[in-house]
Amino acid sequence: MKKALLAVDLQNDFYEDGALAVPDASKINQKVNELLESEEYELIVASQDWHPENHRSFASTHGEEAFTAYDKEEGLGPVLWPDHCVQQSRGAEFNNEIKTHKFDYILRKGTDVDVDSYSAFQDNDGSDLGLAALLKSFAVEEVDICGLAYDVCVKYTALDSVKNGFKTNIIQAGSKAVNPDQIEECNQELKKAGVNLI
Ligand code: VGL
Ligand code: ZN
């Protein structure tokens, strides 16, 4: 069975000193690089969160504090985020420990100012980002997922991967959550959907 690796949002802003810091994020780098350097993948796709400034998902756009609960617009929330991964900024760049020369494709998401994009397959409003068709064009049937953040973009990418018919595995040593206290709930949801946690 042909396999792809999806490396989700390995960008400075999601690392320990970043704007939307994921605790212990840099601890995944060794595992992620092992995956990137393994010979088992037909294709390696990296997603890159890539927001215009004043993105609607930013708390600052609404004059609110970061992490304020928000449910007023379809496709945003459940909280407003600190400004992060602004196009062309250092925070949007890939972490410099990551072996980015192994990426075959880079898929930018969150580029529409009004809509967020937690999944690498589609925007939160359902617009297709072309990833499923790309994988299918390479006859990929199985997908390994690593990256940041486990409870947001990795989770939604994995759920959509299953929906698109791929055998889907999250490599847990290659992922960390922004809210580590929500991991158990997140794992239940993923398992119920048919995602393998390995
Ligand atoms: C992410 C929140 C906002 C992620 C991206 O990559 O998990 N989380 N934008
Ligand atoms: Zn984002």
Q: Which residues are CB-neighbours of 77 under 8 A, at least 6 positions away? A: 69, 70, 71
Pick the catalytic residue from 49, 83, 85, 109.
109
Question: Is the whole model's pTM more than 0.85, yes or no?
Answer: yes
| Domain chopping of the chain, boundaries | 2-49+85-197
Please give the DSSP secondary-structure letter assigned to residue 80: P
Ligand 1 binding pocket, CB closer than 6 Å: 9, 14, 20, 49, 81, 148-149, 152-153
Distance from the alpha carbon of residue 34 to the mean position of ligand 2, in angstroms: 26
Q: Which residue has the tokens 């006859």?
A: 139
Instruction: Pull the structure tokens for residue 44.
Output: 């390696």
Is the domain covering 2-49+85-197 a CATH 3.20.20.150 domain? no
Which candidate, 120, 112, 194, 110, places its Cα nearest to that of 153? 120
3-state secondary structure of 142: strand
Q: What is the pLDDT along the chain (198 residues), one digit of tens a residue?
A: 999 999 999 999 999 999 999 999 999 999 999 999 999 999 999 999 999 999 999 999 999 999 999 999 888 999 999 999 999 999 999 999 999 999 999 999 999 999 999 999 999 999 999 999 999 999 999 999 999 999 999 999 999 999 999 999 999 999 999 999 999 999 999 999 999 999
Output the CA torsion sign for 41, 95, 129, 88. Answer: negative
